[in-house]
Structure 1
Amino acid sequence: MSVTVALLKLQLNVDFDTDDDLLAHKIAAAEEWIGDYIGKPLVDFDPVPATLTEAVLQLAASWYENREAVVIGAGANEVPFGVKALIRPYWELERL
């Protein structure tokens, strides 16, 4: 994992352990989604660039905080604002 549960908990300002398994799942799902989007698994990066780590943090945090596909009373976004901007340079590199 490019992001640890401890780091995601800092991002979320979470200080309890009851959701650690769920947080680990969100990290794995975010890493997989980003790897699929850019066409290269994050484990292939050594080290994982800080911008991709930030994208994992933002995406995993968003999925943790918004656990359903639909949020009533809020604008709908496929992914959090800025995540695609963070990963876009790596998507372009993989297409060259």
Structure 2
Amino acid sequence: MPYATLDDFKSHARIGFDDDDDLIEAQIAAATEYVRGFLDHDPEADSPPSAIPDDVRQATLLIASAWYETRESAVPDTLREIPYGARDILNQLRGWSFG
């Protein structure tokens, strides 16, 4: 189950049309998988899907919206793989281990 909904994304990105709904849902699914892989745990495993933590939802939306806006495979050096804000959120949630 995605960590954000189509309505969440449209509100986040201020999109008021339905033309790109399939693309947006694919971006949300891909961003969810990215977040799930980045974290050492699945927030869904500990709670019902409707209770995904707000910070996880926000990171997912930041990533999905960046990918929606930048669809080219070659981008300028100033752009990163995922937005800084999303990486900051995920780094705080990630279970670090040095042993």
* TM superposition score normalised by structure 1: 0.85
Runs of 4 or more above 3 Å deviation: none
Aligned equivalents of 2:64, 2:46: Cα separation in 1 = 19
**Displacement of 1:45:** 4.1
* CA offset digits 1:22-72 (Å, max 9, x no partner): 111100100100110113234324221111110001000000000123224
Q: 2:43, 2:53 within 8 Å by CA — same for their partners in 1?
A: no
Q: How many residue pairs are counted as aligned between the two chains?
A: 94
Cα 1:70–1:32 shift into 2, 3 Å? same
Q: Could you tell me which residue of structure 1 aligns to residue 62 of structure 2?
A: 58
Structure 1 CA distance for aligned equivalents of residues 38 and 23 of structure 2:
22
**Structure 1 residue 68 corresponds to structure 2 residue 72:** yes
List alignment gaps of at least 5 residues for structure 2: none
**Deviation of the 1:2 alpha carbon:** 2.2
Listed as ranges, the matches of 1:69-88 within 5 Å are 69-72=73-76, 75-88=78-91
Structure-2 separation of matches of 1:75 and 1:49 = 30
Give the AA of the match of 1:63: W
Deviation at 1:3, TM superposition (A): 0.8
| RMSD of aligned alpha carbons | 1.9
Please tell me whether residue 10 in structure 1 is matched to residue 14 in structure 2. Answer: no
Give % identity.
Answer: 28
1:81 Cα offset (Å): 1.4
Q: Secondary structure at the match of 1:70?
A: coil
